[in-house]
Amino acid sequence: VTRLTTFSGGDFGNWEVESIEAVAGASLPDASWLAVSEDAETAHVGAAWLLRGVTSNQRYTTREEQTILLAEQPQLGRPEATRAALIPIRKTEEWWELAQDERREILADRSKHVSIGLEYLPGVARRLYHCRDFGEPFDFLTWFEYAPSQAAAFSELVARLRDTPEWGYVEREVEIRLVR
């Protein structure tokens, strides 16, 4: 299985860009289309920007949370999910200097990231890509797909998460909304 995925913004792609908004820190250059590719050999000639990430193991979820997530998370690529969001995120050095148990406490116990997220399943399909370890400008590329009827719920979810202690450690975040 290919775990390396490339997101390229530019003049071509399978998703049309609705908006690119800097939430924290610098934005990304304008692009009309986003191409999502699991083929590392694909030449992204002329792309305005490229972001790469890999799927990985879970860091913070308990057995109980993993079981619930597996049961409730929808697949990517549902025909009705014609809206998507790519939200690249970088966290502060302070976050990365914490110990694993301290990060888990902030993300799960104090911020309720997992339980808030679960409220929006199965409307929103998600995938988390990691990219901190290979010198990318972001630490994570977060990807979401949902039907137009779930767009307001998705905005509410994002607003709720941004209001948590975990987001105090986010230093760069760009929200890219997409349509296909």
- Binding residues (CB under 6 A) for ligand HEM: these are 58-61, 69, 87, 89, 91, 113-114, 117-118, 120-121, 124, 126, 128, 140, 142, 157-158, 161
The minimum distance between CB 64 and ligand HEM, in angstroms, equals 12
The minimum distance between CB 41 and ligand HEM, in angstroms, equals 28
Beta carbon nearer to ligand HEM, 14 or 66: 66
Beta carbon nearer to ligand HEM, 4 or 114: 114
> Per residue in 79-110, is it b (16+ CB within 10 Å) or e — as a string?
eebebbbbbbbbbeeebeeeeeeebbebbbee
C-beta atoms surrounding 38 within 10 Å: 11
Pick from 57, 55, 59, 7: which is nearest to 28 by CA? 7
Beta carbon nearer to ligand HEM, 42 or 66: 66
Beta carbon nearer to ligand HEM, 44 or 165: 165
End-to-end CA distance of the chain: 25
Beta carbon nearer to ligand HEM, 3 or 39: 3
Question: In the block, which residue shows the tokens 């679960």?
Answer: 118
H or E element in which residue 140 lies: strand 140-146
The minimum distance between CB 75 and ligand HEM, in angstroms, equals 13
The minimum distance between CB 1 and ligand HEM, in angstroms, equals 18
C-beta atoms surrounding 59 within 10 Å: 11
Contacts of 11 (CB under 8 A, 6+ apart): 31, 32, 33, 46
Residue nearest ligand HEM, Cβ-based: 117
The minimum distance between CB 42 and ligand HEM, in angstroms, equals 25
